[in-house]
């Protein structure tokens, strides 16, 4: 099972030294405890959990038993999505379990609220986040989609365990991936969400007003294409005869008509038309690669 479920399965066969030195009832199969019994037993386990040092064997046993006893809360929250495929339901239960673990780590009996009331919002919140995070704005390979889901789970588990953001190396070790694959999964997350071009952006101070995201997105500039054309034409024009270059200059720089060019050259308008057609044809041939 995925990383989020790892804590559930790591209950020692020794039954935690006779269930924490006999201070708690021995529960052979915590996941089968009925919900109404789980509510009563959870208070006893939370009382003991608060007294234990984090990271010890006893603390691990009590925490894991609480997780298993309350998995029915995850199943309850996931039941509203029962119409989805089996694979997706498994993912929903796993991310819901992350919410359950968060609730257990943050629950305080002094709040005088039932644990189920406290935990369900955490569970539902993780499930909703799962659907939000797995709604792809662009196409991403299935391999990276799955890696992204596992990355979210592993990050949550390690952040809870370490009380800080995990490093790439720590995530890679937990997920059994290389650091490069973890980095790739992080980059893939950019494909999850997209912003509307009408999204408002606050500009500077409050007096500067707002601007739309679309105002900052560049457009194709036709001038760039002209620059490319000029740079491509320059060596071809250099290869023309002095007379041909003069005709090109008069027509496209001085913007003379064919009749006016003919008067300057002492030829007819028809001859100027033929000359221009030949010159432009030569330039066009030089610009367009053979076979294009």
Digit-by-digit pLDDT tens for the chain (292 residues) are: 444 444 444 434 344 444 554 577 778 888 888 888 888 899 889 988 888 888 888 888 899 999 999 999 999 888 887 766 666 788 888 999 999 999 999 998 887 788 988 999 999 988 888 877 665 444 556 676 677 778 878 888 888 888 888 898 998 888 888 888 888 877 766 555 555 555 555 555 544 555 555 565 555 555 556 666 667 778 888 888 999 999 988 988 888 999 999 999 999 999 999 999 999 888 888 776 544 4
Burial 28-61, CB ≥16 within 10 A → b, else e: eebeebeeeebeebbeebbebbeebeeeeebbbb
Asked whether 30 and 63 are in contact (CB, 8 A), the reply is: no
Give the pTM. Answer: 0.43
C-alpha span between 37 and 24 (Å, rounded) = 14
Asked whether 129 and 153 are in contact (CB, 8 A), the reply is: no
Asked whether 91 and 149 are in contact (CB, 8 A), the reply is: yes
Question: What is the sign, positive or negative, of the torsion defined by CA atoms of 186, 188, 137, 121?
Answer: negative
Q: How many CA atoms lie within 13 A of 205 on its CB side?
A: 1
Asked whether 38 and 132 are in contact (CB, 8 A), the reply is: no
The C-alpha angle 207, 211, 213, rounded to 5 degrees, equals 150
| Domains of the chain as residue ranges with CATH | 222-287 (1.10.10.10)
Widest pairwise Cα distance in the chain: 118
Asked whether 91 and 122 are in contact (CB, 8 A), the reply is: no
């Amino acid at each position: 099972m995925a990383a989020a479920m790892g804590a559930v399965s790591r209950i020692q066969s020794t039954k935690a030294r006779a269930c924490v030195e006999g201070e708690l009832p021995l529960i052979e199969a915590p996941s089968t405890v009925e919900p109404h019994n789980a509510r009563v037993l959870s208070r006893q386990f939370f009382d003991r959990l608060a007294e234990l040092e984090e990271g010890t064997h006893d603390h691990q046993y009590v925490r894991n038993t609480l997780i298993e006893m309350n998995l029915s809360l995850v199943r309850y929250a996931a039941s509203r999505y029962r119409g989805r495929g089996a694979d997706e339901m498994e993912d929903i239960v796993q991310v819901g379990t992350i919410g359950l673990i968060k609730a257990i780590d943050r629950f305080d009996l002094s709040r005088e609220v039932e644990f189920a009331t406290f935990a369900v919002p955490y569970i539902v919140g993780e499930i909703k986040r799962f659907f939000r995070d797995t709604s792809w704005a662009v196409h991403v390979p299935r391999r990276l989609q799955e890696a992204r889901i596992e990355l979210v789970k592993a990050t949550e588990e390690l952040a809870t365990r370490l009380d800080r953001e995990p490093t790439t190396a720590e995530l890679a070790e937990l997920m059994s991936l290389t650091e490069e694959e973890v980095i790739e999964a992080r980059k893939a997350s950019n494909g999850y969400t997209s912003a509307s071009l009408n999204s408002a952006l606050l500009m500077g101070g409050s007096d500067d007003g707002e601007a739309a995201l679309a105002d900052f997105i560049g457009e194709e500039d036709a001038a760039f294409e002209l620059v490319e054309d000029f740079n491509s034409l320059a060596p071809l024009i250099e290869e023309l005869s002095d007379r041909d270059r003069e005709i090109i200059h008069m027509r496209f720089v001085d913007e003379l008509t064919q009749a006016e060019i003919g008067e300057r050259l002492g030829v007819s308008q028809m001859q100027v038309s033929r000359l221009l057609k030949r010159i432009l044809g030569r330039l066009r041939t030089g610009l367009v690669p053979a076979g294009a």
